[in-house]
Amino acid sequence: MRDVAIVGVAQTKFGELWNASFRDLVVEAGVNAIQDANMSGDSIDAMYIGNMSGGLFVGQEHIGALIAEHSGLAPIPVTRVEAACASGGLALRQAIMAVASGFYDKVVAAGVEKMTDVVDATPAIAAASDQEWEAQQGVTFPSLYAMMARRHMYEYGTTREQLAAFAVLDHENGSLNPKAQFQNKITVEKVLNSTPVAKPMNLLDCSPVSDGAAAVVVCPAEDAHKYTDTPIYVQASTQASDTIALHSRKSITTLEATVNASRKAYDIAGIKPNQIDVAEVHDCFSINGLLAIEDLGFFEKGKGGQAIEEGLIARNSEVSVNTSGGLKARGHPLGATGLAQAAEVTWQLRGDADKRQVDGAEIGLTHNVGGTGGTVAIHILSRDQKL
């Protein structure tokens, strides 16, 4: 297998983007990533698109052909990849595997979602849960994660304030990211006093409904310096599955798919969790940010709340988490999130993250979750090819 490098990244602004269509967003991200890689569009071999539900959000399926036409990349193969909110992470993994195997040399992975065109996004998002046993019984994603939060509070004494502190940290970082949907700072008090959505999750514990796209260009590591002076190397790309329904799990305070995918990734990369400098974790709700920092092995199970409160995941601390603002503040256009995470880690490792730059970041991780953890994709990226 060949080593793979990231040589180009891009992200559109995330938010309620009334002036941009689905196709506009993904074309903007794709073209900018190809330009960032100093490549020409006609040299690209293939493209993978992460998209959760073009059908339910904008009535559009057959997304590969749509993007091939409007990006001007036809006749190259363009393939849509779907795994709920992990669609982007899986699109990146497909691109990496295609290059690693020697099948293609220059591949774009892009992710896109246009969620704000529907009046109520909740039923479309709920399609990522078990329809018969969860959604049709009235359970939504905020309520599924609320159950996980309640159980974590019961088992480990995690406090409401500790959960809120995760959202505060995201907004602090988001305030430094011009591409973030929310660039305002918030306080623990504000989170606690925001509108209840599914107790104990309030409005400011939730990621928003967002439009946006992001893209990444990969090529064989041995060719990377032809395109950029600062290639970022893929040390591991892993994926794990778990039950789609939350009630089928042994525990609802651990995402086993995060544990399995991350342990495999650390093994492949030959590193320990404490060597990660920057991590973009999947905090669709503040509880999932907290579960992530435990399940990824950054902190012991049950100690995540304390770590957040003590500032151990702030920029330039033990591990700098969600420097982009995370899903909470940067925004969460479902299919785009995994690629936006990879773009942020790439900017950090290149030293291009501007005001939110972490000093001397060398190794980064992305953690992209589908549903309540039925699918998880992990990527470990580094500045140096050899660790």
Least Cβ distance, residue 134 to ligand COA (angstroms): 12
Marked catalytic residue, from 282, 332, 367, 379: 332
* Tokens read off for 361: 């970041």
Least Cβ distance, residue 62 to ligand COA (angstroms): 24
Least Cβ distance, residue 285 to ligand COA (angstroms): 7
Cα(351)–Cα(354) distance, rounded to whole angstroms? 8
Least Cβ distance, residue 235 to ligand COA (angstroms): 27
The count of other CB atoms within 10 Å of the CB of residue 72 is 11
* Tokens read off for 250: 């042994």
* Tokens read off for 160: 């409401």
CB nearer ligand COA, residue 148 or residue 353? 148
Q: In Å, what is the CA distance from 113 to each residue of 143, 320, 380?
A: 22, 27, 24
CB nearer ligand COA, residue 248 or residue 316? 248
SS3 4: strand
The count of other CB atoms within 10 Å of the CB of residue 62 is 10
Neighbouring residues of 331: CB distance < 8 A, sequence distance ≥ 6: 14, 15, 180, 181, 182, 207, 208, 210, 212, 325
CB nearer ligand COA, residue 195 or residue 274? 195
- Nearest to residue 83, comparing CAs of 221, 201, 239? 239
Least Cβ distance, residue 365 to ligand COA (angstroms): 20
Cα(332)–Cα(337) distance, rounded to whole angstroms? 6
| 80 close to 59: Cβ distance less than 8 angstroms | no
* Tokens read off for 246: 């939350």
Marked catalytic residue, from 85, 206, 219, 284: 85
| Residue 332 annotated to the active site | yes
CB nearer ligand COA, residue 85 or residue 92? 85
| Residue 85 annotated to the active site | yes
Torsion, CA 340, CA 375, CA 373, CA 210, rounded to 10: 30
- Of all residues in the shown chain, the one whose CB is closest to ligand COA is 284
SS3 169: helix
Least Cβ distance, residue 5 to ligand COA (angstroms): 31
Give me the residues that bind ligand COA (CB under 6 A), please: 85, 122, 125, 141-142, 182, 197, 203-204, 206-209, 284, 332
Cα(170)–Cα(267) distance, rounded to whole angstroms? 29
CB nearer ligand COA, residue 188 or residue 268? 188
Active-site annotation, residues: 85, 332
